[in-house]
Amino acid sequence: MKRRIRITTVLLLSLMLTGCSGKADKYYNEGMKNLDSGMYENAVECFQQGLENNQRLAENYRGLGIAYYEMGEYESAINMLRQSLEEMEDVNDPFTIDVYYYLAESYRARGELVRAAEAYTNLLEYTHTAEVYEKRGIVYMEKGDTDRALKDFEKAVALDDSYEVSWLIYSVCQEYDMEKKGEAFLEQALDSGEDDRTEVKDCYYRGLFNYTLGYYDEARDELLQAVSKNSDDARLLLGKVYLAMDDVVSARSLYQEYLSRNENAAEGYNGLALCSIAEKDYDAALDSIEKGLSFAADEDKQSLLFNRIVVYEYKLDFAQAKVCMDEYLELYPGDEEALRESQFLSSR
């Protein structure tokens, strides 16, 4: 996922260091405005004009690198960012950190994982943060170097024991078929200082971790606290917990409550569909799915469309399930679970 990193902060710092000298800064400042507005081609033109006028070379090369990165032109981004580092005349750690972030991400986007890891290693000379270890760990995971990845993840958690970091690490481990390793980070997070964290989001994350680990009683208790503080995210997740506990009545009540608070919310209808599936009322499940699809955003739409396939399979209508699967795979061709299910349907 692309991520913009501290552009405004670096812009302000660079202005403080070099001053606003009118004409000399014209192209760079205009380029930064275009960059922040997402007008990347215009930004490229401005930064190039700044270079042609021999102005603020390191900064204009950096601006070009970021613009090319955002445009998906990663080789050009790499060349410009490396040139930016070469043109730096004064020590400016925040500026260097920013360049190395984009350089590492550009290498990663091109699949040059060794160089991406090297760029993150260089970055650690300037900033010792959990985020850098997270990102380098992900690169190591992509390289297949799981030992180094897990060591970096452990360092990230040591620097930042927030639930968000632990969940990110678990998600990465799960993606690379190392779910048990990821679960160890969730267990560690639950064991560390939970009594000191009472905000809604903390209760939600503890509920999420317990649900993921199969501790449904604990998940329910944590999520009830969040629901009592009007967390709709907790309502949705608590509905899943109740379904896992075979308490369909409580799950349905939560999803109905969610819909009363969030009219036309696809997630609520998806939850009701799951309740109907649990009760083997497949026509009611299809009705909820169709209602949800009428206003679903992409992420919710994917879940609803997949559940529609499941319902037709339960109804033993494999022909219609296959039709729905073909529609699903047109939209989400990379879903490996769906591809496996498609093979099953083809054999029916």
The pair of structure tokens assigned to 239 is 């509905």
In a domain, 119, yes or no: yes
Q: What is the share, in percent, of the chain residues with pLDDT greater than 70?
A: 92
Distance, in Å, from the CA atom of 32 to the CA atom of 67, rounded to the nearest integer, reads 10
CB 60 within 8 A of CB 27: yes
In a domain, 280, yes or no: no
User: Bigger pLDDT: 167 or 56?
Assistant: 167
Q: What is the pTM of this model?
A: 0.84
- Whether residues 113 and 142 share a domain: the answer is no
Could you say which of 171, 192, 213 is where a domain stops? 192
- Whether residues 18 and 101 share a domain: the answer is yes
Over residues 231-254, the pLDDT tens digits come to 999 999 999 999 999 999 999 999
In a domain, 83, yes or no: yes
User: Bigger pLDDT: 344 or 278?
Assistant: 278
- Whether residues 79 and 151 share a domain: the answer is no
Could you tell me how far CA 140 lies from the centroid of its own chain? 18
Q: What is the share, in percent, of the chain residues with pLDDT greater than 90?
A: 79
Distance, in Å, from the CA atom of 292 to the CA atom of 304, rounded to the nearest integer, reads 7
For the cut 60, the answer to whether the pLDDT of residue 129 exceeds it is: yes
Write the CATH number for 90. 1.25.40.10
- pLDDT on residue 296: 86
Over residues 159-173, the pLDDT tens digits come to 999 999 999 999 999
In a domain, 269, yes or no: no
- pLDDT on residue 194: 54
- Whether residues 23 and 109 share a domain: the answer is yes
What's the start-to-end Cα distance of the chain, in Å? Answer: 38
- pLDDT on residue 23: 58
- pLDDT on residue 196: 64
Over residues 309-348, the pLDDT tens digits come to 999 999 999 999 999 999 999 999 989 899 999 988 888 7
Over residues 66-106, the pLDDT tens digits come to 999 999 999 999 999 999 999 988 778 899 999 999 999 99
Distance, in Å, from the CA atom of 1 to the CA atom of 3, rounded to the nearest integer, reads 6
Write the CATH number for 171. 1.25.40
- Whether residues 28 and 108 share a domain: the answer is yes
CB 211 within 8 A of CB 237: yes
- Whether residues 2 and 42 share a domain: the answer is yes
Distance, in Å, from the CA atom of 73 to the CA atom of 209, rounded to the nearest integer, reads 38
For the cut 70, the answer to whether the pLDDT of residue 12 exceeds it is: no
Instruction: Centre a 10 Å sphere on the Cβ of residue 147 and count the other Cβ atoms it contains.
Output: 8
Residue range(s) defining the domain that contains residue 143: 128-192
DSSP count for the chain of H helices, then E strands: 20, 0
Indicate the helix (H) or strand (E) that contains 134.
Answer: helix 130-143
Distance, in Å, from the CA atom of 269 to the CA atom of 275, rounded to the nearest integer, reads 10
- Whether residues 71 and 171 share a domain: the answer is no
For the cut 50, the answer to whether the pLDDT of residue 289 exceeds it is: yes
- Whether residues 122 and 139 share a domain: the answer is no
Could you say which of 97, 127, 157 is where a domain stops? 127
Distance, in Å, from the CA atom of 83 to the CA atom of 65, rounded to the nearest integer, reads 9
For the cut 70, the answer to whether the pLDDT of residue 14 exceeds it is: no
Over residues 297-309, the pLDDT tens digits come to 877 899 999 999 9
- pLDDT on residue 79: 97
- Whether residues 178 and 162 share a domain: the answer is yes
Q: What is the mean pLDDT of the chain?
A: 90
- Whether residues 10 and 26 share a domain: the answer is yes
Could you say which of 175, 192, 209 is where a domain stops? 192
- Whether residues 84 and 184 share a domain: the answer is no
Question: What domain count does the chain have?
Answer: 2
Residue 333 phi, psi dihedral angles, 5° rounding: -65, -15
- pLDDT on residue 192: 82
